[in-house]
A and B are shown apart, each in its own frame.
Chain A
Amino acid sequence: MVGVCPGQAQCFGRSLNKGGYIIISVHTKVEAYTANGPAKRRLKLTRNDWAGYAFSTPLLIGVLAFAIYPMLAALYMSFQQTSGSGLTAQWVGLSNYTYILNDPIFWKSLTNTMYMGVLSMLLGIGVSFILASLINSLKWDLGKNMFKGIYFLPNVVSAVATSLLFSFLFYPDQAGLLNYVIGWFGIEPVGWFTNSQYSRFSIVMMSMWGALGYNTIIFLAGLQSVPRDLYEAAEVDGASGIRKWLHITIPYLRPIFVFMFIMGTIGGMKRFSDVWLIGGTAGNPDGSLMTSVLYIYRSAFLASQMGLATAASYLLFVVILILTMFLMVMNSRKNSFD
């Protein structure tokens, strides 16, 4: 199974050319080489090989200069202390890492990030799967396309526009639309983005508005791939719709769920744009919107502590890697289909 997040609201790093992710099993084509015979395998480059290298050069330059080099440079820098414009640096060993691991703000940023990431992932996946199931079961084709179009529309809206719009919709007094609506039910106005108790949940609601459509589209594509005969067999056995949904649809779509969990985790851990626009570089209110990437951004570009920032980015990378591997292991443990 292959999956990719081309950078959308939930995976908040909207940088497609660098932010795409992939989970893939590569089938190496060993037989193609052995077929050439062992004699030809000794570094004898044909015209074909040269053309291949020439055609791959742009990609290779890109990968080396903008993925491999920055990764290595970041590792090197994380052992250095920089001052000023980052031109003078001195080797400080592991002290950046120990500083960060003893920094309560870093831990707060990590828990905030994980809290918002997990919440928006679980809610987002749950709601969009139900939405996709409902749209898929609609027998009215025009309506199907219409709903698809409507639910996906917020996905093309930028984080900047979304944050500006919701800063008004979630306005802390009664003039804000959400407070006005909950006022009908006798609930007092809530400081959605200004009360540190609610601010993280408000961010989750806002990002769900943007990201639901994306997940829904992918679930819909998955739902359409469930073989009809599975349902037919179940119908012969007299299974009800809900039972078919629970025992056929959900297990069959397990790879998609796993993909969503992984993408949701990675995207959630990279949350920056919306919290920066709503809470500023301090992650207001009360540091409740301080996320890991905001911590990195602040250390690097406000405090000019490049070494500290790269060390923090490596720690974040390790966290993402552990979470991703954990989900992959969970997935490989049992498989009811295939």
Chain B
Amino acid sequence: MTQQGALAAVPGKRRGSAGQWLIAMILLAGSLVMIIPFLWMVMTSFDWGARLNISFPPKLWPEEPSLKPYRAAFTNIPMTKYIFNSLFISVGVILVSALSALLSGYALSKLRFKGSNAVLLLALSTMMIPFEMTMIPQYLLFSKIGLIDSYWAFYLPALNYAFGTFLAKAFIDQLPSALREAAVIDGARELSVFWRIYLPLCMPIIATMIILLFLGVWNDMLWPLLALKSASKYTIQIGLAMFTYNNGINQQPAIIMAATTVSLIPIVVVYLFLQRYIIESIALSGIKQ
């Protein structure tokens, strides 16, 4: 109401005007385009009639409503295992990345040690390097030290979370330095100043990092595809891709859609509960002026 945006005044000026209705209608039509793929996916996943081929004409309700596609998906693909594998990797990566970012962010913000500018510059400039550039040497490095096909291939590279360092530094810059100075005068050690005083104040930025990392790790495909060899260690994405990989010509829509739906449940549930924070995190990570 207070915010009269750019287009608001185009057709009419009062609220509830024809212009507002038109805008709402356009947005609603666009929303349908966003939502219909999900509806089709869930509907097909319950349709035993679509076990071999997609039903024609497209329906809004399953032809043969059944839970069989889900049973078939769970017996053909160890879905629960893959979901737990993905969770293990996510938790490990989040712990390593967030800790590395917070420690270095704190040091760069509050300690101002000799060479801190060089460290910051080094970290930020390496963020321009695409992963696609480094993946081959990284793969060879891990296979040389025998850590390919192990989750260390995820936890160790997680140390390099320069964007997190940047986020943490920017956040800790806003916190008063007096807290640290007082504690240091009282003889507190640096680590306990960080752990007891600053870390609890960093919760908002920690939440942002967890969200961004989780979305990235859960949906990542390229590195798990290279790093994981044995089927029992697959992430949910690789498990799903390997089960269905058929050069784009997929059969058995009901079962594949059931498996896809299951793979989406964790992330969509997280999204529904944390929607506001996720959108805020994305906006924060995208733009800061």
A residues lining the B interface (CB < 8 Å)? 1-8, 13-22, 24, 26, 28-29, 32, 43, 45, 48-53, 55-56, 58-63, 65-71, 73-74, 77, 86, 131, 133-141, 143, 145, 147-161, 163-169, 171, 174-177, 180, 193-194, 209, 212-214, 217-218, 220-226, 231, 235, 240-242, 244-245, 248-249, 255-256, 259, 266, 270, 272-273, 277-280, 282, 284, 293, 296, 300-301, 306, 309-310, 313-314, 316-317, 320
Complex Cα gap A62–B101 (Å):
11
A6: contacting residue among B106, B132, B216, B249, CB under 8 A: B216
Are B245 and A277 in contact, CB atoms less than 8 angstroms apart?
A: yes
Contact yes or no, A86 B132, CB < 8 A: no
Check if B111 sits within 8 Å of A51, measured CB to CB: yes
B216 to chain A, nearest CB (A): 3
With A22-B128, A55-B111, A223-B5 as known contacts, state yes or no: A217 contacts B282, CB within 8 Å: yes
A74 touches B133 (CB 8 A): yes
A225, B1: Cβ atoms closer than 8 Å: no
A1-B289, A160-B221 known; A62-B133 Cβ under 8 A: no
Which of A18, A134, A212 meets B160, CB within 8 Å? Answer: A18
- 9-residue interface stretch from B6-14, B63-71, B199-207: B6-14
For the complex, would chain B's binding face be called helix, strand, loop or mixed by DSSP majority?
Answer: helix
Residues in B whose Cβ lies below 8 Å from that of A220 = 283
* Cβ contact of A151, chosen from B34, B163, B215, cutoff 8 A: B34
Contact A59 B286 (CB under 8 A): no
* Distance A72 CA – B138 CA, assembled complex (angstroms): 11
B245-289 CB mask vs A (1 if < 8 Å, else 0) is 101111001001100100110011011000110110011011111
Mask: chain B, 24-59; 1 = CB below 8 Å from A; 0 = not = 101100110111111011001000000001111110
Bound-state CA distance A270–B158 (Å) is 20
Nearest Cβ distance between residue A144 and chain B, in whole angstroms? 9
Chain A interface main SS type: helix
Question: Inside 8 A of B10's CB, which chain A residues have their CB?
Answer: 137, 240-242
Q: How far is the CA of A175 from the CA of B57 in the complex (A)?
A: 6
Shortest CB-to-CB span from B219 to chain A, Å, is 4
| Minimum Cβ distance to chain A for residue B241 (Å) | 5
